Structures are given as C-alpha cells and as structure tokens.
Structure 1
Amino acid sequence: MPVVKKTIAQHRKASFYIKKYCMIFLGSIIASLGLELFLIPNRVIDGGVVGISIMMSTITQLPFGLFLVLLNLPFLYLGYKQIGKNFAIATTIAICFLSGWSAVFEPIRQVTEDPFLAAIFGGIIDGLGVGLIIRAGGSLDGTEIVAIIMDRRSVFSVGEVVMFINLFILSSAGLLYGWDKAMYSLVAYFVISKMIDVVIKGLDESYAVMIVTNEHDDITSALNDRLGRGVTLLHGAGGYTGESKEVLYCVVTRLEVDKLKEIVLEKDENAFVTINAVHDIVGGRFKKKAIH
C-alpha cells in the first residue's frame, strides 16, 4: 500500500507540473500575439520590464525578446532569493517562451494601425496571456518582484510601488513616442490589468462565508439542501462573554450570496455573517446546484 500511495502521489505531482507549464506555454503564446500583432507595431507599451524592453528595442533596433531576458536577469535572482525556487523557475521559463514566440510573430503584419483599437484588443489578448502565466505561478515583470520586496521593507504596498514604477515608464514612453501614444499605453495598461484580474479571479467569483450563530444545525441543513453547499463547523467562544459559539464556514458563488443571506436570516435573525472574495479553490465539494 505505501508503494501504491507513493506512485499515486508521484503521478499527481507530475500531472500538476505538466498542467502548470502547459499553461505557461499557452500564456506566453497569447501574450506575444497581443504584443507583436497589436501593441509593439503601434508603439503602444505595457508597464514594467515589458514596457522598458519595448522602448529599448525601439531605440537600439535590437529584438524585444533580447531585452526582456537581459533586463529580467537581476530580478530573477532577487525572486529566487526572496520568493523561492519554484517561482524563479516558472518565471524564467515564461520569459524565455515569450522571448521566443515574440521572435516568431514579429515578422507577421500587424492586425490594425489604429492605436486605440490596438490598445484595447492588444490589451485584452496580452492580459489574457499574462493572467494565465501568473495563475500558473510565474511572472513576466521583474518590477513586481521589487514591489513585493519593498512591501516588506517600507510603508508602501505592492500596488503602490508597481503604480509608481509604471507611471515613470509610461512617462518615458511619452518622451520617446509622443504623449498621445503614452495615453494609449495607459489605456492598454488599464485593459491588461483588468484582464489579468478576470483570468486570476474568474468571471464567476466565489466567496468564503463565516456565520456565527446559535442555530447551526438548522442553517447547516438548509445550506446543504437548498444550495448544495458543504459546511464546515468550527467551535469557538465569545471573546467578551466566553459563551460557547459555533461558526459555520462555506464557499458560495456570487449568484448564491443573496440566497445564503436569506437562508441565514430566516433561521437566525441574530446571526453574524462575514463574506470575503475567494480567488481560487482546490478540492472539496464545490459544485453548482440549482437554488431553491
């Protein structure tokens, strides 16, 4: 039996890594299509190291992929030291894939010469690819690594550091390409960031719900029967009174949140409910069921 369990565990691990790197491979293809067929030919840039690489390629006439690899090298070292080996490996592979596919797609004629259309559709395609890479545990942008490190050592958040760096990069694009292209780049950056959020969080967002109640049996049964959701029972106590309390934990979709509130208040109008967005779910009995 131990040998069988070990074999199953090895197969699961192999399947996990195959899926992970297939997603990075696919994401790099999609991202390079967005860059080479829409953004780069129209001199519309993304933020971070990708944006700097595009500008360096314009100035020197050397391949975009070359600068993408070279400029990310110090950040990869920082990522390996500060975040971990798996992140550094996944990021290195993603950068190499994107560099290679950019060289393949670069000779292909651009889809549109309208910079606004390029910013919108290029941003959607690029954001989709980058989102897949991030979801697989990699990255294309060394500035995110810097932001994570600075977040630990300063009062600024990751988002604030990334925003500051990208404002500087987009301002540089204005000096190089003209301020109209810088504004189109800002539109592209916004579209890319929103598309990344959609890929990472999903269109059908899920929410983790914690319910503090004295009617835990009735609410558990109702959530099982009417929403088809598994419920985990946590034992707690009131911090002020010391009274024993039961806390219910479950995960529901965005469309089920209102129904859950209705069920809880129907069973216990004094229940205390907290609801938080969930970005990913692994395992469990999380399946959709008709609401009634």
Structure 2
Amino acid sequence: MTKRFKKFYASFSKVIIIMLGATLYSIGLEIFLIPNNIIDGGVVGISIMANHFISVPLGLLTFILNIPFFIIGYKQIGKTFTIATIFSVICYSIGVSILKPIPGITHDILLAAVFGGILVGLGIGLIMRSGGSTDGTEIVAIILDKRIKFSVGEIIMFFNFFILLSAGLIFGWDRAMYSLITYFIVIKVIDIIIEGTDESKAVVIISDKHEEISEAIMARLGRAMTYLYGKGGKEGEYKNVIYVVVSRLEISKLKCIVNGFDEDAFITIGSVETTGKSYRKKAIH
C-alpha cells in the first residue's frame, strides 16, 4: 500500500464517517427532537427557535448562521478543521431538509429527549473523531479558550445555558428542561464515542511488598508493569514504585490484590489514554 493510497484511504474514511455522523445527527433532530419542541445547543438550537417564527427551512437557516463562524475558523484555527466542519454542516443541513416531511415517530417527550439525545450524541461524536465539528459556537469556544481562562467545554456550556433559557421562554419551561436532559445525554454519548467505554487507568503503587504485589497483578490480571525507582522526600529512603495501566473495571480487583498484601500501601489512580497492543492483553482470571 503506497503512501499516497494510505492518505487517500484515510481521507475517504473520514468523509464516510462524517456523512454517517451527519445522518445520525439529522435523524435525532428531525425525527425525535424538533417535532417535540426539544432543542439542541449551539447554532442548531438558535436555528430551531428562529424557525419557529420565520419560514426559512431549518437546514438552510443553520448553514447561513454558521457562515460567519466558518470564516472566523478558517482564519484563526486552520483549513483542515474548517473544511471538515463545513462539510459536516452541509451534510446535516441537507439531512434535516430531506427528513422534514417525515413525521416524528413518538410524541412521548421523555422518549424523544432520550433517543434523540443518543442519536445526536452518536452523530456529533463520529464527526468530532474525524476532525470536524457540527457547530459554529465550538469554533468560537476554541478561539476564546486561547484568550480567557475558561475551557472549551465551559464556554460551550455558557452559550448553551442562554440558548436553553431562551427555549424556555419560547416553547415552555418543560421543553427547556427536557432539552437539558437531551444536552447531558449528548455530552455523555460524545464522551463514549471519543474516549471509548473501556477507560484506561494509570495506577502508581508504593509498598514494601512490591515484589509480591507485582507477581499477583501479573498472575491475576495478566497486566505487565514497570518498576520506577523513587526516593522519599521526607525519609530519603529509596523504594521500588509499581506503575501499571488497567481498565476501569479492573480497579476494584487491583485494590483488593494490593490490600491483600499491604493495607498501608500508597495508591494513586488517574485516567490516561493508551495506544499499543500490549495494553489490550486480557486478564487471566
């Protein structure tokens, strides 16, 4: 496989994934959320509220409102990200236009909020994994993140707070609260799509029983580990420190192993991103 073909295949794969994500996003919006006056955040949410008063098609209105953000993003962030975002917005704008004549499949507001949120989250997650975005407010948040102390997520949440507040005034406070449920579902699903369900945890263990503990971890969890050589800041004693990466589901079992040898062992646990085949090794028991 040549380098040029690999590059083409990677780009083609991203296009397909963005189209799939935009399709799921469109279905979540037009089949579940919009018929029940439940809104998404960002420019799409603004477009849904504006569409309540003017007769401009939602897909066209969403694209028009995103144009200023495309220009800002192209100048401030970069060409690749902006092009991917434009493509995703075009795809789901076309999608909601095609799906507009199809009636919503449920009028149960809670079901619409939950399943609409799942589909929207899946769609946005796939698009974000392919290097794009679905909304102009995300572009603004990325730019502002470089200038103010708030994170991208906090800035987006700030925008969406006022959008959901406006939705309460237009569609009623019950719809605003259901929209909030949808918003939290979307965030959670996006996290799952981007980070995966099998979250990795890095564990550091300091114990005088390091040899027994490491042997038990390898025997019962099937995890390889690394010894770090550390010196205590207070006592000045040198100790072997165990460093091992396990899945979130293995944390409880790991603690039991360590406490079985040394109840006073010092353990720290943190989330990490892992690559490589060695981590994928299954537990023996």
Whether TM-score is above 0.5 comes out as: yes
Q: Decide whether aligned partners of structure 1 residues 236 and 141 sit closer, same or farther in structure 2, where only a CA change above 3 A counts.
A: farther
SS of corresponding position for 2:280? coil
Partners of 1:10 and 1:238 lie apart in 2 by 52
For 2:279, which of 280, 286, 289 is the aligned residue? 286
Give the superposition deviation at 1:95.
1.3
Aligned pair 1:204/2:195, yes or no? no
**CA root-mean-square deviation:** 2.9
Q: Decide whether aligned partners of structure 1 residues 20 and 225 sit closer, same or farther in structure 2, where only a CA change above 3 A counts.
A: farther
Partner of 1:3: none
Aligned pair 1:67/2:67, yes or no? no
Partner of 1:26: 20
Segments of 5+ residues of structure 1 without an aligned counterpart are: 1-6
The count of aligned residue pairs is 285
For 1:230, which of 217, 224, 240 is the aligned residue? 224
After superposition, residues 236-251 of structure 1 pair within 5 angstroms as 236-239=230-233, 244=238, 246-251=240-245
Q: Give 1:285's aligned amino acid.
A: S
Partner of 1:110: 104
Partners of 2:75 and 2:66 lie apart in 1 by 14
For 1:194, which of 180, 184, 188 is the aligned residue? 188
Give the superposition deviation at 1:264.
3.5
Partners of 1:285 and 1:10 lie apart in 2 by 29
SS of corresponding position for 1:203? coil
Q: Decide whether aligned partners of structure 1 residues 108 and 8 sit closer, same or farther in structure 2, where only a CA change above 3 A counts.
A: same
Answer whether contact 1:36 1:106 (CA < 8 A) is retained.
Answer: yes
Give the superposition deviation at 1:168.
1.0
Q: Report % sequence identity.
A: 53
Of residues 167-176 and 12-21 in structure 1, the stretch that sits farther from structure 2 once superposed is: 12-21
Partner of 2:175: 181
Partners of 1:201 and 1:251 lie apart in 2 by 16
Aligned pair 1:53/2:47, yes or no? yes
Q: Decide whether aligned partners of structure 1 residues 143 and 214 sit closer, same or farther in structure 2, where only a CA change above 3 A counts.
A: farther
Of residues 54-63 and 73-82 in structure 1, the stretch that sits farther from structure 2 once superposed is: 73-82
After superposition, residues 152-163 of structure 1 pair within 5 angstroms as 152-163=146-157
Answer whether contact 1:42 1:118 (CA < 8 A) is retained.
Answer: yes
Answer whether contact 1:256 1:291 (CA < 8 A) is retained.
Answer: no
Partner of 2:160: 166
Q: Give 2:253's aligned amino acid.
A: K
For 2:116, which of 111, 114, 122 is the aligned residue? 122
TM-score normalised to structure 2 length: 0.84
SS of corresponding position for 2:53? helix
Q: Decide whether aligned partners of structure 1 residues 262 and 116 sit closer, same or farther in structure 2, where only a CA change above 3 A counts.
A: closer
TM-score normalised to structure 1 length: 0.82
Partner of 1:150: 144
Partners of 1:28 and 1:111 lie apart in 2 by 19
Give the superposition deviation at 1:46.
0.6
Give the superposition deviation at 1:140.
0.8
Partners of 2:79 and 2:232 lie apart in 1 by 42
Q: Give 2:16's aligned amino acid.
A: C
Partners of 2:252 and 2:174 lie apart in 1 by 45
